[in-house]
Amino acid sequence: MNDDDFLAFSERRFTDGQGELANAMRTLVAREEPDVYEALAAEDDATFLEPLFFTYFFAKPPPIELPQLAIGYVPAASRPSELPIRTDARGRAYLPNVGHLVTSRADEALTASWDAASRGFALRDEQGRAVAHTVRERRLVPSTEIELLWEGNPLLDATFTDVDAVSVNRPIPSVGPSHEASISRALTLIAEHEPGYSVLLRRATRQIFAFSYPRVNSFATLNAHGIVFFNAADRDDEVYFVDELVHQCGHVVFNAMTVKRRELFLADPDAPIADICPHVSRREIRSLYTVLHGLYTERAMVECLRKLDERAVFEGRKAHELRGRLAFIFRKMQIDVANASHRGLFTPFGESIVDVFRETFTRTERERPDLFRHVLEGQPYNFDYALYARHNPIEELFSAAE
C-alpha cells in the first residue's frame, strides 16, 4: 500500500472499529441502566463513544454514576425531572457534553433537576435545600470540536498509573488552559502539513487533558477512549504538542482500527515479544500488540515531523528540538521494525500492515541518513531536549546539514 492507500485503509478500519465499540457500549449501558439506555437509544454512535462511559465500566467502583455521565446527551425534552449527581473534593460535578456544575459542596450527593423553561439545572441536597451553583461550560480548542479539559474529575483520575504501573489514586490537576495556544497552534500545523492524518486525528479525539505530574507518562487508553493525556511542563510549546498529538491521538485511532485484532496475529498479541522472539532483548517488556501500536504511531510521527523539518516550519531552538525529536522517534522505529520482522508473528493481513511501516522506515533511512548522526546517548523513555542539546549543539548540527 502507498501512503494514500494506507490512509484510506486506516479511515475504513477506524470507522468500522468505532462502530464496533459503539455497539458494544450500547449493550453494556442497556444491561447496566435500562432507563439510561432507553433515554439514549435513538442517539447516534457519537453518544455511545463518550470517553467516560468506557472509564465507568473500567473503574471499580466508579465514583460517578452512569445517569450523571449520560444526562448531557439526553435531548432536553426527554430529560428526567431529577437525577442523582455527586460533587468531587472541590465541589464540582462534571456532566459530559455540558460542563461542570460548580458548588461549595465538596464530595456530596445531590439531586439535579432539569428546568426546561430556563434550560438549566437546579440542585438540592439530601434535605431538599437548594444548592447554589454556577455552570462552567465546556472549553473547546479554537476551530475544533475537541474539548480542552480545564479540570479533571474523579472518574478520569482512575485512569492514571505511574511508570511502575501503580495506580496514582489521587486527583490530577489540569494545566490545559495554560497550554491552549500551543495546542491550538500544533493542531493547525498538523492540518496544514498532514491534512489526511489531521482529519482522522480530529475524528478520533474528543478531549485533551494536559497535566503536570511526576512519574506519569503521556498516554491514551481504551479505558478512556477518545481522550489523550499529555504530561506537559511549563516550557513545552507547539513542538512538543505536535509530537504528542500525532503520537497519542494515533493510539486512539489504532485502538479503534484493531478492535478485531486477532485477524492480525498468528502469535499471542498479549505475550511479551521477548518471550516470542529469542533475539529480542530481555529488557523489552512490551507485548507484541504494543509493539505494533508503537509502529503505527512512529510511522505517523516520522511522516509528520519530516514534513515540518524539511519545510523549515520552525527556526532556531524550535527547529533544533523538532529535528531531535524526529531523530529520536526514527531510532525507536528502527528497533520496532526489527522487533516486528521475526517469522510467525502476523497473519498475511497483519504482515501487509507491517510492510507499510517497514517501507516508511526504509524510505526515511535512504532519504535522511543524517538522522543516524544525532547523538542520543542517555536519552530516557521520553525525549529530553536539554540532554539532546548538550550532545548535539545547535550550531554544529545545522552547519553540518548545510
pTM for this entry:
0.94
Cβ(37)–Cβ(26) below 8 Å? yes
Note the helical H segments in 66-179: 66-70, 154-157
Grid cell at residue 334: 528502527
**Side-chain half-sphere exposure of 167, counting CA atoms within 13 A:** 10
Grid cell at residue 317: 531552538
Across 286-291, average pLDDT:
94
Lowest mean pLDDT among 105-114, 169-178, 388-397: 388-397
Query: Which residue type does 153 have?
Result: N
> Per-residue pLDDT tens for 191-249?
999 999 999 999 999 999 999 999 999 999 999 999 999 999 999 999 999 999 999 99
Cβ(94)–Cβ(135) below 8 Å? no
What single string gives the DSSP state of each residue in 330-367?
HHHHHHHHHHTTSTTSB-HHHHHHHHHHHHHHHHHHHH
- How many DSSP H helices and E strands does the chain contain? 15, 10
Q: Is the pLDDT assigned to residue 402 strictly greater than 60? A: no
Average pLDDT in the chain: 94
| pLDDT over 70, % of the chain | 98
> Per-residue pLDDT tens for 85-101?
999 999 999 999 999 99
Q: Is the pLDDT assigned to residue 7 strictly greater than 60? A: yes
Q: Cα–Cα distance between 193 and 351 in angstroms, integer?
A: 28
Supply the pLDDT for residue 397: 65
Grid cell at residue 238: 507547539
Q: Cα–Cα distance between 170 and 41 in angstroms, integer?
A: 34
Cβ(32)–Cβ(61) below 8 Å? no
Between strands 207-211 and 227-231, the pairing is: parallel
Grid cell at residue 87: 460533587
Q: Is the pLDDT assigned to residue 401 strictly greater than 70? A: no
Grid cell at residue 72: 448531557
- For 83, residues 6+ apart whose C-beta sits below 8 A from its C-beta are 67, 68, 71, 111, 112
User: Cell match 519530516: residue?
Assistant: 306
The SS3 assignment for 109 reads strand
Which among 242, 382, 384, 395 has a CA at the least distance from the CA of 309? 242
Q: Is the pLDDT assigned to residue 126 strictly greater than 80? A: yes
Across 242-266, average pLDDT:
96
Supply the pLDDT for residue 400: 55
List C-alpha distances in Å: 84 to 40, 68, 109, 132, 182.
Answer: 17, 7, 7, 16, 38
Supply the pLDDT for residue 1: 75
Query: Which residue type does 392 have?
Result: N
**What's the pLDDT band for 142 if we cut at 50, 70, 90?**
very high
User: Cell match 460533587: residue?
Assistant: 87
Q: Is the pLDDT assigned to residue 328 strictly greater than 90? A: yes
Supply the pLDDT for residue 3: 79
Cβ neighbours, 10 Å, residue 311: 10
DSSP bridge partners of 95: 99
DSSP bridge partners of 164: none
> Per-residue pLDDT tens for 15-67?
999 999 999 999 999 999 999 999 999 999 999 999 999 999 999 899 999 99
The torsion angles phi and psi of 228, rounded to 5 degrees, stand at -115, 140
Supply the pLDDT for residue 399: 59
Q: Cα–Cα distance between 198 and 204 in angstroms, integer?
A: 10
Across 101-126, average pLDDT:
90
